[in-house]
Amino acid sequence: MNRIILLVILLSAGLFAKAQQANTVKNVKGLKANFSAPVLAAYQESAKTKIEDFYQYLQLLSDVSVSKELKNEVRLNILFLFKNKEVLMKDIASNGKNSLPLSLLISQIENTPSLKFEVGEISSQQIEPDSWQTTYTVKVLNDGKKSELNLSQRVYLTKDSKTFGGNSKEVWQTFLGEIE
């Protein structure tokens, strides 16, 4: 009887190790291997919302009627959208001709009064192991002049450890990346 129990335990441990090994191989293959199509689509939809939020935040930063305190909060919210705080961005306030770090873009937008942004259709494509590329258009209204930029932005899906009280849990989060 003890041999049977020991055999069952050994077989279970072997199957568990094999499942863990398969899971490790699966993680290396990337997002398509880790998530079903509907789950990945939900993360992509969440990323679209973050992109739209990003431009709404930029518009708030440019609004001269917004208080300093609110602008400080908006600046922090923008930084929370990005994993890398110094990611390179197209200079959307100046027709996207140059690239600059996110912090510089934020300062530039804050010093350009009354910018308006309108984000067009956002589509996701080119799924990589830890990210995907999104494309969209942004109409920028700056001092009565309207320009339209065709942009491409990388969105990252990463696993992060979150602490809830005394408990820690691994969660997947989307973060915005570089704009080309």
Q: What is the mean pLDDT of the chain?
A: 83
**Would you call 21 exposed, middle or buried from its count of C-beta atoms within 10 A (0-12, 13-18, 19+)?**
exposed
The yes-or-no verdict on residue 162 having pLDDT over 90 is: no
> Between the CA of residue 138 and those of 47, 55, 69, 117, 123, what are the distances in Å?
16, 9, 27, 6, 13
Question: What is the phi/psi pair of residue 158, to 5°?
Answer: -130, 155
Cα–Cα dist 111/114, whole Å: 9
The predicted pLDDT at position 30 comes to 75
Residue 137 one-letter amino acid: T
The predicted pLDDT at position 18 comes to 39
pLDDT tens across 21-36, in order? 333 333 335 787 778 8
What is the rounded average pLDDT of the residues 138-142?
93
The predicted pLDDT at position 160 comes to 85
Its sign, for the CA torsion 169, 81, 29, 32, is positive
pLDDT tens across 37-94, in order? 899 899 999 999 999 999 999 999 999 999 999 999 999 999 999 989 899 999 888 7
Residue 156's SS3 state is strand
Cα–Cα dist 34/54, whole Å: 27
**Would you call 140 exposed, middle or buried from its count of C-beta atoms within 10 A (0-12, 13-18, 19+)?**
buried
